[in-house]
Amino acid sequence: MISITEILKDFPIFETKIHGKRLVYLDNAATTQKPRQVIEAISQYYETRNANVHRGVHYLSEIASEDYEEAHNKVAKFLNAKGMEEIIFTRNTTESLNLLAYSLGLNELEKGDNIVLTRFEHHSNLVPWQQMARRQGAEIRFIEMTEDCRLDLASAEKAIDDKTKVVSITHMSNALGTIIPVKEVSKLAREHGAYMIVDGAQSAPHMPVDVRELDVDFFAFSGHKMLAPMGIGGLYGREDILEKMEPFLFGGDMISIVSFDNATWNRLPWKFEAGTPNVSGGIGLAVAIDYLGKIGFDKIHYIEHELTEYAHERLNELSFIKIYGPEPKYKGAVVSFAMDGIHPHDIASLLDEDGIAVRAGHHCAQPLMKMLGTDSTTRASMYFYNTKEDIDALVESLQKIYKLFS
């Protein structure tokens, strides 16, 4: 097994000093750091084979096209899709979910239909469906949250019915870390003939995802939350559904034949990838997936679960801290908390002076925050390159902050 010391050597950013102190990076739910292997792969692409894909017969274009297509194949294997035809590259989870809201919403939703979401949703999986429901005359319904911040499956059984056209849910809450039982919800969606969509932005970096085992129609994720560069994301979609769907964007490379009067579409997945793609991002994503495979999700889960339990244990020692969300066994490596009488933005700013990076605010989940009786929290989110020493540094700094304000 690779040691944490060896892992940290792969991440050059951890050589950076923040205000003269070592970097304690606990903002991984927002974006993860990048290993040298990913950085070097992107640099090598621009240095040795930069060209547009699918557009030329010269060597650079052909080799870039091969790399870009292989990246699709790698993501397909990563998610256990049938093949690259089921993998669309987008900029991020947000774009993937908007693609679905427009392509499905405009063509499938009718007045009287309903769309089912959960109370945990990120704005990216709430606002697009809100707008599409308003436009098409559909209803938004919500699966409720239990008192201990888990999904209420009994509520799901009530919310999903024969008028449900779309069920779109997060796999793991970015604000609380709650892991959602996707397979159980998917079973309900299947019973009523609804499309099953999963926002996997927070799950794909931390746990094995098998889209066929989960029995979902669509699964969206972002590369930058799993070691890859920003600006590259993916959308898995069942091939038979993608074949019937209308494209979200129109233009170059997504067409087959164009006349002055009409156009026909390219084969999958290019039908949904209009214009010049983020080739270097796709290459970086493929290398990131290789890196995660080298670490292994069993080890990633072990490290993160240990860290989450330790963070709960240490923070619970502080009488002035309130933790939001479920117990560690029901969540990923996210701990959201509040400090008596001190705004999360002040906490985050003072933590930064100690070289500690966290996130403060509503975490793009304002309705959820309102349900919790607050407008914002401080969020520490871990990844496999974090250590218990990072948690200790966080706790020590929080104690200093509380004394300062007291």
Instruction: Check if the beta carbon of residue 132 is closer than 8 Å to that of residue 138.
Output: yes
Strand partners, 140: 115
Return the structure tokens found at 244.
């019937």
Instruction: Check if the beta carbon of residue 109 is closer than 8 Å to that of residue 152.
Output: no
Annotated catalytic residue 149: no
Return the structure tokens found at 255.
């067409």
Distance CA 188, CA 182 (A): 10
Query: Is 88 strand, coil or helix?
Result: strand
Distance CA 71, CA 284 (A): 9
Return the structure tokens found at 97.
């979910």
Number of H helices, E strands in the chain: 14, 17
Inter-CA distances, 106 with 60, 102, 137, 189, 260, Å: 39, 5, 11, 20, 25
DSSP 224: G
Residue of 79, 149, 364, 369 marked active site: 364
Distance CA 20, CA 76 (A): 43
Catalytic residue IDs: 364
